[in-house]
Amino acid sequence: MKVAYQGVPGAYSEQASRALFGPGCRTMPCETFDAVFEAVENRTADRGVIPIENSLGGSIHLNYDLLVRHALSVTREAYVRIEHALLAPSGLKLADVREVRSHPQALAQCSDFLAAHRAIKPVVWFDTAGAAASLAENPEPDKESAPGSARVAAIASEAAGKLYGLKVLKKGLQNRAVNYTRFLCIARAPERPAKGAVLKTSLTFVPARNQAGVLHKITGLFAERGIDLSKIESRPDPEKPFDYRFYLDISGGAQDAPVRAALQGLKKMTRDLRVLGSYARAELPKAGRRK
Amino acid sequence: MKVAYQGVPGAYSEQASRALFGPGCRTMPCETFDAVFEAVENRTADRGVIPIENSLGGSIHLNYDLLVRHALSVTREAYVRIEHALLAPSGLKLADVREVRSHPQALAQCSDFLAAHRAIKPVVWFDTAGAAASLAENPEPDKESAPGSARVAAIASEAAGKLYGLKVLKKGLQNRAVNYTRFLCIARAPERPAKGAVLKTSLTFVPARNQAGVLHKITGLFAERGIDLSKIESRPDPEKPFDYRFYLDISGGAQDAPVRAALQGLKKMTRDLRVLGSYARAELPKAGRRK
């Protein structure tokens, strides 16, 4: 089982891959989310793992767009707690750090720390673990051109720090203690879920235009069959501002008779309906305390 | 009329303030969104203007949280097209730029440009216009310690560049041509909308727990009265993962009889219901072409 993810070893997406397929699974780093989808489509990888929403940042529209564009199935989900650490080469002290590298989202999530440490310049890297890796490879990047000017740290997971031999200068760097990301697994075909698993199904569609109360009719298709909605989101299409695309997560599998009946009704009220996949429901991680 | 916004002069939020209150309105820059809410509450400002959602990034949960926490009214909305430009002190050429400063979200929105220009180090500033302002103030920040090493540019609006006397090196820097942000105006009390304005109302609530089909009952309250929903979003509370908070925008004003009746029904099915305000509906900006 070879699992493609965006980033480099130590990425949160790699953590999610191991949470989904066991610590021994073979993982395949990709530069972009597009490359993850392509790797699965081209059979270079058996599965892909992508982040789909974050508890602070909300839905990751880019990956919803890619799910709509590619004919792949969502087969699993997992939640990963995001705990950012300040990582540095050994010998560097917090007071001496002058630059910190990380993903723009991670830097934004640590803005309180950065505001309290104005001497540290936050530099964007398009990958948290990649920032740690680059630092481990070249711990004093500007030493020759500007001696002593670049005492660099990275923000990534503790696991990434361990992998690249960096020291943890500070844990729990993010503004809010509770911060998790939901990941989805994508595959070329549906997977048979474990026996007794509680299933959920993800779908997306654009409701038929200008039809009064269409959303009420849609929720009715599910309510009258005892199907729960665990997520609903409408998003104006940036290219066609009067079209709203909906994202729904419902209880049950797409092959269950009540869900099938509801989807048949849904097809008549919407266009571009895509059943993204059915999979075992994961539990949200327990709220933790800030360390 | 004094309008508080987060950022410094030239910020997109300031553009939104002028779109809402005319080019001559007095604006008051604040360091944080919290400070904008406090300025309105403390009567230091008459109004506040905050971003609430972006066409690519989605809802800005932080500002929804602040709306829930503060007893202020939403009284207007406006859409602003986000067009990032690469700004630099005169004399600096694109090929010589080695560092670019901007908000993490803006840097993320320009990731294609940054990927194609690896020699440029993207540095986080917590404000697009602030990055332009700091650059105008000190165009060669590290000249003494490292001569020639810091040829710095900023990513912000063209308007910010004009304000701070910076040159536009490149326009339309963002990955996707269509990129807009929706802003809300907050006030201590509701405003009387212009006669003939088409109203909408924003609300938020947590549905009563474990009640099957509760969302269908809620959409029914609106559908049976001919009230349209232009936005619906559910978001798990990061602190209490089994509670979902909903954000809804509906057609009509909170004082209209049908809306009042629907809200009375809604109160019985939900907790923590907050009517954030009623205001004239703004039109989405027309989709433009990439330059």
Distance from CA of A47 to the nearest CA of B (A): 26
Q: Which residues on B lie below 8 Å from A234 (Cβ)? A: 229, 231-233
| pLDDT number for residue A277 | 97
φ, ψ for residue A264 (rounded to 5)?
Answer: -65, -40
- In whole angstroms, what is the distance from residue B8 CA to residue B32 CA? 11
Kindly tell me the burial class for residue A218, based on how many C-beta atoms sit within 10 Å of its own C-beta (0-12, 13-18, 19 or more): buried
pTM score, two decimals? 0.86
Query: What does the pLDDT read at residue A290?
Result: 38
Looking at chain B, how many residues does it have? 291
Alpha-carbon Rg for chain A, nearest whole angstrom, is 21
Alpha carbon B143 to its chain's center: 36
A176 in B contact zone (CB under 8 Å): yes
pLDDT at A88: 96
Q: B242: which 2 tokens? A: 């089994």
Using DSSP's 3-state secondary structure scheme, residue B139 falls into coil
Per DSSP, A31 falls in state: S
Residue B154: what residue type? Answer: A
Of the candidates B285, B77, B19, B284, the one whose C-alpha atom is nearest the C-alpha of residue B200 is: B77
Q: Which of A220, A229, A287 sits opposite B239 (nearest CB)?
A: A287
User: Across the interface, do A216 and B219 touch by the CB < 8 Å criterion?
Assistant: yes
3-state secondary structure of A281: coil
- If one counts every other C-beta atom within 10 angstroms of the C-beta of residue A191, the result is 16
Measured between beta carbons, the chain B residues lying within 8 angstroms of A178 are: 238-239
Nearest to B107 among A62, A104, A241 (CB): A104
Q: How far apart are CA A160 and CA A162, in angstroms?
A: 5
Task: Specify the pLDDT at position B238.
Answer: 66
pLDDT of residue A288: 46
Q: Is B216 on the interface with A (CB under 8 A)?
A: yes
Write out the E strands in B95-238. Answer: 99-102, 121-124, 152-156, 167-170, 180-187, 199-207, 229-236
For residue A183, what are the β-bridge partners? A51, A78
ipTM over 0.85: no
User: What is the per-residue pLDDT for B143?
Assistant: 55
Decide if A246 contacts A275 (C-beta within 8 A): no
**Among A residues 28-47, those touching chain B with beta carbons less than 8 Å apart:** none
For residue B240, the chain A residues in CB contact (below 8 A) are 287
Distance from CA of B10 to the nearest CA of A (A): 21
Neighbour count for residue A87 (Cβ, 10 Å): 33
Predicted pLDDT at B237: 72
Per the CB < 8 Å rule, is A228 touching B212? yes
Partner residue facing A146 (CB), from B149, B224, B228: B149
| Nearest beta carbon to residue B61 from set A56, A229, A236 | A56
Alpha-carbon distance values, A183 to A10, A44, A74, A90, A285 (Å) = 16, 20, 10, 33, 13
pLDDT at site A105: 87
Contact A61 B61 (CB under 8 A): no
From first to last of the 291 residues of chain B, give the pLDDT tens digit. 999 999 999 999 999 999 999 999 999 999 999 999 999 999 999 999 999 988 877 888 889 989 999 999 999 999 999 999 999 999 899 999 999 999 988 998 898 999 999 999 999 998 899 999 999 998 876 555 454 546 999 999 999 999 999 999 999 999 888 888 999 999 999 999 888 899 999 999 999 865 668 889 999 999 999 999 989 998 877 667 667 889 999 999 999 999 999 999 999 999 899 999 999 999 877 654 433
Among A65, A80, A121, A124, the residue to mutate for chain B (most B Cβ within 10 A): A124
* CB contacts, 8 Å: B55 with chain A: 236, 238
Task: Please indicate if any CB of chain A lies within 8 Å of the CB of B238.
Answer: yes
pLDDT tens string, chain A, 291 residues long: the values are 999 999 999 999 999 999 999 999 999 999 999 999 999 999 999 999 999 988 877 888 889 989 999 999 999 999 999 999 999 999 899 999 999 999 988 998 898 999 999 999 999 998 899 999 999 998 876 555 554 546 999 999 999 999 999 999 999 999 888 888 999 999 999 999 888 899 999 999 999 865 668 889 999 999 999 999 989 998 877 667 667 889 999 999 999 999 999 999 999 999 899 999 999 999 877 654 433
Summarised one tens digit per residue, pLDDT across range B128-159 is: 999 999 999 988 765 554 545 469 999 999 99
Residue of B124, B174, B182, B235 for testing the chain A interface, max A β-carbons within 10 Å:
B124
- Whether residues A229 and B233 touch (CB distance < 8 A) is answered with no
Chain B partners within 8 Å of A61 (Cβ): 56-58
Q: What ranges in B117-157 are assigned the alpha helix state H?
A: 128-137
Q: Among this protein's residues, is A183 annotated catalytic?
A: yes
B35 alpha carbon, distance to own chain's centre: 15
* Backbone angles phi and psi of B228, in degrees to 5: -90, 150
B183 is catalytic: yes
Q: How many CB pairs under 8 A join A and B?
A: 146
b/e sequence A47-78, b meaning 16+ C-beta within 10 Å? bbbbbbbbbbbbbbbbbbebbeebebbbbbbb
- Reported as a single tens digit per residue, the pLDDT across B265-288 is 999 999 899 999 999 999 877 654
Q: Are B166 and B132 in contact (CB under 8 A)?
A: yes
Active-site residue, from A27, A75, A128, A181: A181
DSSP states of A76-115 = EEEEEE---EEEE-TT--GGG--EEEE-HHHHHHTHHHHH
The two three-digit tokens of residue A253, written as one number: 């599998």
Q: State the catalytic residue, choosing from B75, B181, B201, B204.
A: B181
Q: Of the candidates B183, B179, B181, B182, which has an alpha carbon nearest to the alpha carbon of residue B288? A: B179
* Structure tokens given for A56: 């602070």
pLDDT score at B2: 97
